[in-house]
C-alpha cells in the first residue's frame, strides 16, 4: 500500500461528541493515512500538488494543523490553529489543505518582503549611526541637537533596531543624554578641583594653627575650613547651614525689612561667590553641628538666605 498521512486537529466539539458516543476520546492531534491506490486519479492529482518529498523521494505528510499569522509587533508571527469539527473526508481535507498552504505561501512572501525591507532599514540605520556617534565622541552637543536625518522615501522613521529597540531619533536622544552626562561629570570634577585649590590657598593664608596642622597631616577638614572661613568673612547675624538642615517655603509678600536685608545679602553674595540670595519663610533652622540642635519648638519666620556659599552651603539670616 502506498499512502499519504494527513496531520489534523480535532476540535473540542468533535471530542465531546466522540466521548458521548464511544465513551472515550483519542485527543486532539490526529493522523489519517490515505491509501493512494483506492482513490481516483483526480484526487491523487490534488494530493500530489500538496505534498513535498524527503531526501529519499518519499512523500511527506500533509499538515493542516495550523498556519502563521502576520502581526505588526515583534515577534511578528503568531500561529492560527486549524481544528475540524468532524472526521475528515478527502474533499474537505483537500479544501482545507489548499487554504492552509495558501496562507503559508502568502506568509513566506510577505515575510521575505519584510526581511528585505528590514535589511534596507538596518543598512540605512548603520550608515547614520556612526555619524551620530562621531558627534558624540567629539563632544558636539549642538551638532547632535541640530542633527536632521535625511530619510529616504521608503524609510519608516519609527523603525526600531532589533538590538537596542531604539529608533534613530531615539539614538540621538540617548547620545545627547550621554554627552550631557559626561559634560556634567567633567564639570563636577573641575569644580571639585577648583574648590580644593581654593581651600588649600585659603588655609595657607588665613587658617588657624589648628586648621593648618590638621590639613598638613592629611585629615578631612571640610567643617573646620567652612566654619573658620565663614567666621572670617561673613558679618554677624548670619548662620552657616553646614549640615543642610534648614528648610523653607517660598516667601510671598515679603516685609520691607526683608527687602532691605535682601539688597545687602545680594551684595554679600556677590562678594563671597555665592549663587544667589532670596527671601524665604524659614520652617526649620540651620545647623553647624553634627548633632541636631535642640531648639524645642521652632517658630517659623521670615529669613534671607544665600545659596551656594563655597559652592555648596547655605547661609541663613533670620529676621
Per-residue model confidence as pLDDT tens digits over 214-268: 999 999 999 999 999 999 999 999 999 999 999 999 999 999 999 999 999 999 9
- Let me know if residue 51 belongs to a domain: yes
Average of pLDDT values for 36-53? 90
Residue with cell 533652622: 285
**Mean pLDDT across the chain:** 90
- Let me know if residue 60 belongs to a domain: yes
- Let me know if residue 25 belongs to a domain: yes
Which run of H or of E encompasses 67? strand 66-70
Statement to judge: residues 109 and 160 lie in one domain: no
Statement to judge: residues 245 and 277 lie in one domain: yes
* Domain hosting residue 170, numbered range: 124-180
Number of structural domains (the chain) is: 3
The pLDDT value recorded for residue 166 is: 83
Alpha carbon distance, N-terminus to C-terminus of the chain:
108
Peptide bond into 119 cis (omega under 30): no
**Has this prediction a pTM greater than 0.85?**
no
Closest Cα to residue 83, out of 35, 27, 122? 27
Statement to judge: residues 137 and 240 lie in one domain: no
Statement to judge: residues 246 and 285 lie in one domain: yes
- Let me know if residue 57 belongs to a domain: yes
- Let me know if residue 41 belongs to a domain: yes
Amino acid at each position: 500500500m502506498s499512502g499519504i498521512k494527513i496531520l489534523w486537529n480535532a476540535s473540542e466539539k468533535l471530542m465531546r461528541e466522540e466521548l458521548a458516543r464511544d465513551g472515550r476520546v483519542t485527543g486532539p492531534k490526529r493522523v489519517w493515512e490515505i491509501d493512494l491506490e483506492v482513490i481516483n486519479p483526480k484526487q491523487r492529482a490534488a494530493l500530489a500538488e500538496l505534498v513535498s518529498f524527503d531526501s529519499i523521494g518519499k512523500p511527506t505528510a500533509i499538515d493542516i494543523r495550523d498556519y502563521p499569522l502576520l502581526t505588526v509587533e515583534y515577534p511578528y508571527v503568531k500561529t492560527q490553529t486549524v481544528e475540524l469539527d468532524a472526521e475528515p473526508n478527502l474533499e474537505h481535507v483537500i479544501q482545507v489543505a489548499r487554504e492552509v498552504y495558501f496562507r503559508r505561501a502568502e506568509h513566506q512572501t510577505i515575510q521575505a518582503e519584510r526581511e528585505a525591507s528590514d535589511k534596507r532599514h538596518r543598512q540605512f540605520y548603520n550608515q547614520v549611526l556612526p555619524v551620530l556617534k562621531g558627534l558624540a565622541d567629539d563632544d558636539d552637543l549642538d551638532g547632535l541637537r541640530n542633527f536632521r536625518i535625511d530619510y529616504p522615501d521608503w524609510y519608516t522613521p519609527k523603525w526600531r533596531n532589533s538590538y537596542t529597540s531604539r529608533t534613530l531619533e531615539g539614538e540621538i536622544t540617548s547620545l545627547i543624554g550621554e554627552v550631557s552626562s559626561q559634560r556634567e561629570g567633567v564639570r563636577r570634577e573641575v569644580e571639585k578641583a577648583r574648590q580644593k585649590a581654593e581651600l588649600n590657598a585659603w588655609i595657607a593664608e588665613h587658617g588657624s594653627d589648628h586648621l593648618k596642622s590638621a590639613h598638613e597631616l592629611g585629615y578631612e577638614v571640610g567643617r573646620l575650613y567652612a566654619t573658620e572661613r565663614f567666621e572670617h568673612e561673613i558679618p554677624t547675624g548670619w548662620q552657616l547651614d553646614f549640615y543642610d538642615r534648614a528648610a523653607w517655603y517660598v516667601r510671598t509678600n515679603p516685609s520691607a525689612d526683608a527687602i532691605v536685608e535682601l539688597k545687602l545679602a545680594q551684595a554679600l553674595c556677590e562678594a563671597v561667590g555665592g549663587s544667589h540670595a532670596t527671601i524665604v519663610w524659614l520652617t526649620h533652622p540651620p545647623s553647624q553641628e553634627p548633632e541636631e540642635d535642640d531648639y524645642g519648638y521652632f517658630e517659623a519666620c521670615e529669613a534671607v538666605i544665600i545659596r551656594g556659599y563655597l559652592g555648596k552651603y547655605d547661609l541663613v539670616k533670620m529676621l
